[in-house]
Amino acid sequence: MKVLLLVAFCLFHTISGTIDRTWWRNTTLYQVLLPSFMDGNGDGFGDLKGLISKLDHFVDLGIETVLITPHYPSPNMNNAGYDITNYTDVNRLSGTMQDFDDLMREMKKRGLKLIIDMVINHSGDQHPWFINSVNRVEPYTDYYVWKDAKGFDINRNPIPPNNWQALYGGSIWKWNTKRQQFYLHQFIEQMPDLNLRNNLVLDEFKKIFEFWANKGVAGFRLDAAEHFVEDDQLRNEPFINLSTQILRGRNDLSNIFTQFLWESVEVIHEFRTFIDSLTEKIGDFERILIPETHSQRKELYEYYGSKNHNIAHFPFNFWLTYTNRYENAYYYKNLIEGYLNCLPEGAVANWNSENHDIPRRAEVFNEEYEFILTSMVLLLPGISFTYYGQELGLAGWHFPGREQTMEAFRLPMQWDDTTNAGFSNNSRPYLPVSLNYNQINVKKQKADENSHYNKVKKMISLRKTNVFKYGEFKSYAVSHWVYSFTRKWENELYVMIFNLGDGTEFVDLHQSIGNLPNVMVIELASRNSDYKTGNEIQINQKLKLQPHVALVLHPKKN
């Protein structure tokens, strides 16, 4: 099926008045892990002042939109700050509300937009809402998911309502001795789930959305959207292995009653209706909702909604984060075409290969394969996400004997070769800087025209052209290991080629793709290739591709 992605003419909205409704449809988005990006006050933690000091980095790279991880008060920074105690304030480690206002002012000067993380599924257990709910203080009594014990064992210990399991291990239920009931927590017990069937809770978040939108925030990442609502009948999860029915953790259960329920999607629809009204009320540009959902199934498309029933502007597409370096060209062809071909009419695609929840690709695979994935993310149709440091090809730990952990892909950004890689002047930053910062840093790569950074910068500049914004997309398995796709708009044509295999490949592009001009020019080549920008390629001859090489070609101009 031929895919034509004319995202500028998306059918979900009509362009009217002075409201900019198109800014997000091809945006290049950059995710900042705030504690690890830049320390602006010398306490060893990245913060808003540090982010402000590096805004010109985004301008130089060509980034248009920045997503920051939670900046709200979080007493224990549990699970990277997702145990929130106030949704309309700033964590002391991140700075002050004045810092946030300064950030918005400086971003506006540079034409940048900000997306913030909205954690709707749960709060921290020290949030006043939860404390009042424990004490049955109205109207907070039912702000969280509370259930009675199923009974008591012979030692008078309460028995959970069912067999549901938390994502991080153990029962999803935690007994509260004061209230004498269980509360539900999809994640850790310090993060109780909010009751999103309660309209009062939805109204609280509408006020929060409006608070940040009035400050100029352009959109909201909806954390853990697939977990918003659970089965109201509290039915036990069926076992995946019906013959053994051994419960060791969440993966032994089907999770059909705790994940991807349709009611969770309808919660987003409720917020979307409100966000759309905010857009009309404020009147400058469209505010957007981006739910985080990890589905590779039909549920992903449900988050788009339809022309007459808008839900999200787009849900995160994590399909490229699930790949490994042993997948062949047919795998990528089927994965990419499968996603694009099933998008609802007028919907916008989006791509990412790294984020704060998974190990960095350069560490898991290698630097060359990471560049292949980054190239796909930036040059496929739609919206791209770049994780901080991905523009440098950062890996994880570079310490002898150190194992890959969550912290490994959250290490401080490497700005230069000074102390602590220029991240902080504190002698002990909250996480150690990788030992490779002398070789891999922003300053050094900016000065090297053949660097990872400058190649990413070049691809981001290509994204801004009509051929990559609106161009026709076609996909090819040139050989078992060589994958290719083309982008075409009017008389402009680009050909992307990736050797996914561990061996050298010789491919006939004229035979496998066809209708190519006789001479093409290398627009961009990965550093491990035999080619340089400007090299001419004879299409009637076989093209030699070193292992894990990425190339971008365009026709020779007369």
Sign of the Cα pseudo-torsion (233, 236, 240, 242, in order): negative
Angle of the 262-282 helix axis to the 199-214 helix axis, nearest 10 = 40
Tell me the two tokens of residue 137: 């203080």
Question: Is 292 labeled as catalytic in the residue annotation?
Answer: yes
Q: How far apart are CA 496 and CA 384, in angstroms?
A: 16
Region of residue 156 (left: phi > 0; alpha: psi -120 to 50; beta: else): left
Nearest to 493 by CA among 552, 558, 554: 554
DSSP string, 479-524: SSSEEEEEEEETTEEEEEEEE-SSS-EEE-HHHHT-S--SEEEEEE
Asked if 499 and 545 touch (Cβ cutoff 8 Å), the reply is yes
Q: Which residue has the tokens 């390629």?
A: 537
Q: The tokens of 71 are what?
A: 């900046």
Cβ-contact 45, 422 below 8 angstroms: no
Mapping DSSP to helix (H, G, I), strand (E, B) and coil, where does residue 163 land? coil
Question: Omega before 139 cis (within 30°)?
Answer: yes
DSSP bridge pairs for 52: none
The rounded distance, in Å, linking the Cα atoms of 236 and 59 is: 51
Write out the DSSP string of 277-288: HHHHHH-SB--E
As a whole number of angstroms, the distance between CA 328 and CA 500 comes to 6
Residue 151 buriedness (CB in 10 A; 0-12 / 13-18 / 19+): exposed
367/357 Cα distance (integer angstroms): 19
Active-site entry in 47, 193, 223, 367? 223
Annotated active-site residue in 230, 292, 302, 523: 292
Q: Contact at 8 Å (CB) between 292 and 317?
A: no
Question: For residue 227, what is the enclosing H or E element?
Answer: none
Concerning whether 403 is annotated as a catalytic residue, the answer is no
**Catalytic residue IDs:** 223, 292
